[in-house]
Amino acid sequence: MSISNKGILELLGIQFPIIQAPMAGADSPDLAAAVTASGGLGSLACALLSAEQTRDGVAAIRKQTSGSLNLNYFCHSMPTNATGFESEWKNLLRPHYERLGLDVESVQPGVLRMPFDAPAADLIEELAPQVVSFHFGLPETRYVARLKACGIRILSTATSTREALWLEAQGCDAVIAQGSEAGGHRGMFLEHDADAQIGTLALVAGVTAAVKIPVIAAGGIADARGIYAAFALGAGAVQLGTAYLFCPEANISPLYRAALARATDADTVLTNLFSGRPARGIANRFIRDCGPMAASAPPFPLAGHLVGPLKAASQRAGSEDYLQMWAGQGAGLCRSMPAGTLTQTLADEVRALR
Ligand SMILES: Cc1cc2nc3c(=O)[nH]c(=O)nc-3n(C[C@H](O)[C@H](O)[C@H](O)COP(=O)(O)O)c2cc1C
């Protein structure tokens, strides 16, 4: 079989076609730096970071490497009709608040995850990463044009061929085909039915046949065989999230790490309980009792606010019952080693398969 990754290596300025997935709340500057320094593409998820935290994160990475870096942003639109959810949502959560000795009525309003905006575009121009990737579609055309004018490569996630064609038409340089096995949020933005989300094998084959831009395969890819299979389907690169959670550089709690180490292929589910959008994570008491998909969950990003206290109390109690533990179906295939070693090992193992 002849496989060529040359185009995408040049496009992204990397040596191996392996991208460490941006993972909001779970990645770290050290993780991104280690992957980039070893020849892959390191990513820093900025969705939950302030401008100051983003600047500090990029500075920490730049102390370790000047290689290609991907900054990642969510570009959802804020819900326009989010009234009427509050009381049903509180009713669903109340028994769990009580179980943890908390009062659902005393939670104060919090800061919401805002979509991509002008200050974010300013910050990217200042920090000048080589690559910017988006989840949930793309921001307004004028922001994409500004970033492209700086020579930044633009990637975004597609969960169907229709979404991939749309991203190509909007000027994306490459598309991340995210199969339903993937850990974390579904990047879906034209699709709305979580049950109809497509597995990585069928999605990557369909997307590579439909678009002319390079395709990056994501979802359930955790070892060299998975990477090789993605290349055989026509992907130019792979994006791995769950595999990098097993690295010491991942910024996750010991409880989450222990759950990952135990996870089998049957332990993850798609749930909307933590944010209002479908995302894949390790099933726990909260997901089993209230979901996995709850009709009363407010739309993204509104649901997260009332779940925050449950997560914090669970963490304090040393229990994984209410933790958000995003993981893909490949968790059982992952190995624990430093991120640079993992990137090199995977690259060597794929070469040996060729
Ligand atoms: C803990 C976690 C957090 C994630 N956060 C983000 C994010 O902030 N932005 C994003 O584009 N994708 C995010 N993803 C999805 C990944 O980009 C990617 O699609 C997924 O990890 C691939 O599947 P895998 O986990 O089976 O390798 C996240 C995934 C995980 C596991």
Q: Check if 75 has its Cβ closer than 6 Å to any atom of ligand 1.
A: no
pLDDT average, residue stretch 8-19: 97
Q: Check if 346 has its Cβ closer than 6 Å to any atom of ligand 1.
A: no
Q: Check if 72 has its Cβ closer than 6 Å to any atom of ligand 1.
A: yes
| β-strand pairing of 174-178 with 215-218 | parallel
Q: Return mean pLDDT, the chain.
A: 96
Dihedral over alpha carbons 280, 285, 291, 296 (to 10 degrees): -110
Residue 144 corresponds to which tokens in the numbers above?
């994409």
Using CA atoms, how far apart are residues 89 and 266, in angstroms rounded to an integer?
28
pTM over 0.85, yes/no: yes
Helix axes 51-64, 29-37, angle to 10 degrees: 30
Q: Whose CA is nearest to atom 3 of ligand 1?
A: 23
pLDDT at 2: 47
Instruction: Give yes or no for residue 84 having a pLDDT over 80.
Output: no
Is the distance from CB of 241 to CB of 184 less than 8 angstroms? yes
Q: Check if 57 has its Cβ closer than 6 Å to any atom of ligand 1.
A: no
pLDDT at 5: 83
List pLDDT tens digits, range 305-350.
999 999 999 999 999 999 999 999 999 999 999 999 999 999 999 9
List pLDDT tens digits, range 163-198.
999 999 999 999 999 999 999 999 999 999 999 999
Q: Check if 182 has its Cβ closer than 6 Å to any atom of ligand 1.
A: yes
pLDDT at 26: 98
* Sheet strands (E) in the chain: 18-20, 42-45, 69-74, 131-135, 153-158, 174-178, 184-185, 215-218, 237-240, 268-271, 279-282
- Ligand 1 centroid–CA 118 distance in Å is 25
pLDDT at 79: 86
- Ligand 1 centroid–CA 220 distance in Å is 11
List pLDDT tens digits, range 88-109.
999 999 999 999 999 999 998 7
Cβ-count burial of 214 within 10 angstroms (0-12 exposed, 13-18 middle, 19+ buried)? Answer: buried
List pLDDT tens digits, range 112-127.
777 899 999 999 999 9
Nearest to 216, CA basis, from 4, 10, 3, 19: 19
pLDDT at 291: 93
Q: Check if 239 has its Cβ closer than 6 Å to any atom of ligand 1.
A: yes
Using CA atoms, how far apart are residues 8 and 190, in angstroms rounded to an integer?
26
Radius of gyration of the CA atoms of the chain, in A: 19
